[in-house]
Each structure stands twice: as structure tokens, then as C-alpha cells.
């Protein structure tokens, strides 16, 4: 493999290390639990071993690496190469992760937040590659977006570009752990939707297929249970899903009027839900954005499937090299 790149996708749950090229071809993909609660020092010791093992299995020498791309949860500073304090990784405060990698690998290391990295992966390797204006929107546990305008990711002055999970859709809405009220994420983040379902089902004592799909155990109610119940036309589920798609369309409408993208790609939930989610969104978008912006935008599920994590890390390395 010519000019191999090392990609690291650091998540709250797992860490993936891959070796590949600028076209998204892999010669090694390995993963391990992040065990983030053990802290960054323990993680780094295990990651060094994983990197060494990956290089050995790919028969790539340390000195051959052209660059390292690291996709990690925000908030982070691309300027100082530091993880600031990711909410799902307690104790990971001001971790100088780029310096750690540079000292170990002696090659250029580039850092990007995970949503931005996914947008770059779609831009380079996805079905919509070569599009110049693209939004990648994640709505899994939390929400965030990677916004590409004129082929470049918008990072903003302090790396808050694309932190759409915390733009406010209703200032009188439910409280968000971030301190604001009515954030996009409080309405549409998968965890928040599931929390709200649980408390409503618990308080109202409704009989709903949502609970049946959780084997009657309120604690096991999640977004997947909601989707199954929606498919069965369960009345409670349909109403909750209607509220969810209204808010999601509202948030996407803001993005359409801000970025005017050619394509909005939805991660996680949309990959599982497909047209069940995309159809109502397309129907509702004209309420939240002007017709030309809606008409010129394709709304689709992410096109890279389970490879997106590894590809996002390679994309960060490629983007870093391109911009040097």
C-alpha cells in the first residue's frame, strides 16, 4: 500500500484502529473497548499495543506512515490538539492526544470531532462524494453535525461549528444538561427520546406496543422499540414519532436555510429506520425552509454503513494532508 494512513476512531464505547489509503481501502481494521472510565492513561497504553499490532499485521513500518487521522468526541480543540472534556468520558480533561500520538509515531497527526470526520468520510468515500455542500447529521445518543461548505468542513473560531445538537428550537422547552432549554438534542437525541417515552409510559400507564417490544420492562424501552411500534401503527407510538419527526424536520430546516446543502445525510437512527423516517421528514420540510432550498437538497441515510467509523478516521488524515 502506497503512503499508508493510520486511522483511529475513538468513541465512548470502543476504539478502532485501521490502516488504509487515501481512497478508503483498508489493509487492517482492529478494535477494542475504550473502557473510557479507566482514564486516558490506561487507554493510551492499550492503544499503543493495538497500533503496534495493526502495523505488524498490515506489514507496515512505523516510518512508512504518511499521516494519522483521529476522530474523537467533542468538545475538543483542533488548534492545540487536545480533548477538552467529552461528556461521556469522565476524567478525560485537557488530554493532549495529538502530542501523545506524534511522540509515538513521529508523523503528522490530525484531529477532528467525530461528526465532522463522518462528513469528510461521506465527502471522500460515500455515494455523494464530489458534492461540495453536504451536512452529515448524527442523531444517536447525542446529536451533532458535520457541515461541509464549498468542500471544506466548517470548524468555526472555537471548534463549535456543527454543534447543532445545542441550537435552541424552543426556549421554553425541556431543560438540557448543557444548561439551555429546548435544544435540538433534547427533542431528537435517541437517549432523550427514549427517556421521554419511559417517563410518559410510566406516568400515564398507557398500554402500548412500545412497551411490548421491551418485553414489558420500562427500563428496556429504547428508540428501536418505538420504531417497531410505529411500523405496527400503535397509536401512542405514532404520536410520539410524529412529535419527533416534527422537531427533526424543524432542525433540518434551520440547516437548509443556513447551509443550503445539496445533501443531508442522517446517521444511526436513519440507517435503521430508512424511509419510515425519511418520508415524513421530506413531507414536513417545506414547513421549515424555503422551497428552492428544500428542492435542491437530497435527504438520505448515511451511505457508508458500519465502515463509517474507520473511514472517518482515514478521511481526517486525508483532509489534513490536503490542507498542508
Comparing CB distances to Zn ion, the nearer of 53 and 87 is 87
Residues 6+ apart with CB under 8 A from 152: none
Minimum Å gap between C-beta 140 and Zn ion is 16
Minimum Å gap between C-beta 227 and Zn ion is 24
Minimum Å gap between C-beta 294 and Zn ion is 26
Residues 6+ apart with CB under 8 A from 20: 1, 4, 5, 7, 26, 27, 28, 310, 314
Rounded distance, CA 230 to CA 239, Å?
A: 9
Minimum Å gap between C-beta 178 and Zn ion is 3
Comparing CB distances to Zn ion, the nearer of 111 and 143 is 143
Which residues in this chain contact Zn ion in the complex, by CB under 5 A? Answer: 166, 176, 178, 180, 183
What sign does the dihedral 90-94-99-103 (CA atoms) show? negative
Minimum Å gap between C-beta 138 and Zn ion is 15
Comparing CB distances to Zn ion, the nearer of 128 and 167 is 167
Comparing CB distances to Zn ion, the nearer of 111 and 176 is 176
Comparing CB distances to Zn ion, the nearer of 147 and 188 is 188
Residue 48 to residues 101, 113, 223, 244, 247: CA-CA distances in angstroms? 9, 21, 36, 42, 42
Q: What's the maximum distance between 2 C-alpha atoms anywhere in the chain?
A: 63
Radius of gyration of the chain, Cα coordinates, nearest whole angstrom: 20
Contact 247, 239 (CB under 8 A): no
Amino acid at each position: 500500500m502506497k503512503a499508508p494512513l493510520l486511522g483511529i476512531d475513538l468513541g465512548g464505547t470502543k476504539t478502532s484502529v485501521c490502516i488504509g489509503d487515501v481512497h478508503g481501502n483498508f489493509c487492517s481494521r482492529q478494535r477494542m473497548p475504550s473502557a473510557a472510565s479507566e482514564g486516558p492513561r490506561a487507554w493510551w497504553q492499550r492503544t499503543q499495543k493495538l497500533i503496534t499490532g495493526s502495523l505488524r499485521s498490515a506489514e507496515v513500518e512505523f516510518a512508512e506512515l504518511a499521516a494519522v487521522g483521529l476522530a474523537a468526541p467533542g468538545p475538543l480543540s483542533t488548534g492545540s490538539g487536545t480533548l477538552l472534556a467529552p461528556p461521556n468520558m469522565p476524567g478525560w480533561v485537557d488530554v493532549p492526544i495529538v502530542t501523545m500520538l506524534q511522540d509515538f509515531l513521529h508523523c503528522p497527526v490530525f484531529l477532528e470531532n467525530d461528526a465532522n470526520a463522518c462528513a469528510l468520510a461521506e465527502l471522500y468515500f460515500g455515494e455523494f462524494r464530489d458534492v461540495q455542500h453536504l451536512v452529515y447529521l448524527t442523531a444517536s445518543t447525542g446529536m451533532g453535525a458535520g457541515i461541509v461548505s464549498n468542500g471544506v468542513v466548517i470548524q468555526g473560531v472555537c471548534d463549535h461549528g456543527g454543534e447543532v445538537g445545542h441550537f435552541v428550537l424552543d426556549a421554553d422547552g425541556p431543560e438540557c444538561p448543557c444548561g439551555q432549554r429546548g435544544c435540538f438534542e433534547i427533542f431528537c437525541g435517541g437517549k432523550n427520546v427514549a427517556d421521554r417515552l419511559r417517563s410518559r409510559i410510566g406516568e400515564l400507564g398507557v398500554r402500548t406496543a412500545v412497551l411490548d417490544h421491551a418485553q414489558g420492562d420500562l427500563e428496556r424501552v429504547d428508540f428501536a422499540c418505538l420504531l417497531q411500534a410505529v411500523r405496527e401503527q400503535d397509536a401512542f407510538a405514532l404520536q410520539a414519532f410524529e412529535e419527533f419527526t416534527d422537531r427533526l424536520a424543524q432542525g433540518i430546516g434551520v440547516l437548509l436555510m443556513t447551509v443550503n446543502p445539496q445533501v443531508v445525510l442522517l446517521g444511526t437512527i436513519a440507517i435503521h429506520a430508512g424511509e419510515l423516517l425519511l418520508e415524513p421528514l421530506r413531507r414536513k420540510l417545506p414547513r421549515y425552509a424555503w422551497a428552492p432550498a428544500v428542492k435542491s437538497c437530497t435527504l438520505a441515510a448515511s451511505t457508508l454503513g458500519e465502515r463509517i467509523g474507520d473511514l472517518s478516521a482515514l478521511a481526517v488524515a486525508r483532509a489534513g494532508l490536503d490542507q498542508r
